[in-house]
Amino acid sequence: MQENLPLDAIIELKNCNIWQQDHLVLTDVNLTVHKSEFMYLVGRVGSGKTSLIKTINSQLPLKEGDGLVAGFNLSKISAREIPFLRRKLGIVFQDFQLLTDRTVYDNLEFVLKATGWKNKNETDARIGEVLEKVGLGLKGYKMPHQLSGGEQQRVVIGRALLNDPDIVLADEPTGNLDPETSEGIIRLLRDISNTGRAVVIATHNYTILKKFPARTVKCENGRLMEVRDDEEIDFEKL
């Protein structure tokens, strides 16, 4: 059952405790993310960034607190509804998770078939659209190993956009990329937020935060806190 969010909000968490199995990771999480917002999530390894992302996409259950994501109530969501929530989300992983035995086109077709697309012409058109959007319009026939790391990450972003999501969650999307390639990926994600989608990036990349400043929240000492505009983030501690 979908529920209404506050005006322009696409994610709203209120008084949430985030659990990883029996371990309490984050306490009293309050977070509102608006449509077309571009924001960063920072924190040291094990601080709760990935657990928070997994809670937003209902990979981890929300046991305590109130959470609405793209109209779905995380504390009441049924197993049958989870695939519908995930169609509203695009997930970008650090390690790509591309199918190495098939082409870029076939990787994207696999996702569309798995989410109910049946018409071949519509599938072809959608794959062409997303590959153009991520700057890989002529690379559909390539195998993943024939692409650079940056190109592979662009395929992953294209895959995340296939079902026209409301939200893109990117977990360390530049973690395996050189600085110049990383900048290109962040520019692409920022452009995507300008098309009306919320983009949340979990990152350790201080250079990116300095070059492309945006709203930043941090996981620290079991809490989620807003980073003030004048606050320097000590990445040595993250």
Give the confidence band of 236 by pLDDT, cuts at 50, 70, 90: low
Give the confidence band of 233 by pLDDT, cuts at 50, 70, 90: low
CA dist list (Å): 232 to 201, 209, 210, 220: 18, 11, 10, 14
Q: Say what the pLDDT of residue 116 is.
A: 84
Distance CA 142, CA 87 (A): 26
Rounded to 10 degrees, the C-alpha dihedral 186/189/190/194 comes to: 170
Mean pLDDT of the chain: 90
CA dist list (Å): 49 to 26, 52, 134, 183: 9, 5, 26, 21
- For residue 32, the tally of other CB atoms under 10 A from its CB is 15
Yes or no: say if 233 and 209 are a contact pair by the CB < 8 Å rule: yes
More confident residue, 231 or 129: 129
- Segment 98-125 shows an average pLDDT of 92
Yes or no: say if 156 and 90 are a contact pair by the CB < 8 Å rule: no
- Segment 100-126 shows an average pLDDT of 92
pLDDT, tens digit, 9 for 90 and up, residues 84-100: 998 899 999 777 789 99
Q: What kind and span of H or E run contains 105?
A: helix 104-114
Distance CA 125, CA 154 (A): 18
Q: Say what the pLDDT of residue 115 is.
A: 83
pLDDT at 135 exceeding the cut of 60: yes
Farthest-apart Cα atoms in the chain, separation: 52
Give the confidence band of 234 by pLDDT, cuts at 50, 70, 90: low
pLDDT, tens digit, 9 for 90 and up, residues 38-58: 999 999 888 999 999 999 999
- Whole-structure pTM value: 0.89
Calculate what percentage of the chain has a pLDDT beyond 70: 93
pLDDT at 176 exceeding the cut of 90: no
Yes or no: say if 27 and 223 are a contact pair by the CB < 8 Å rule: yes
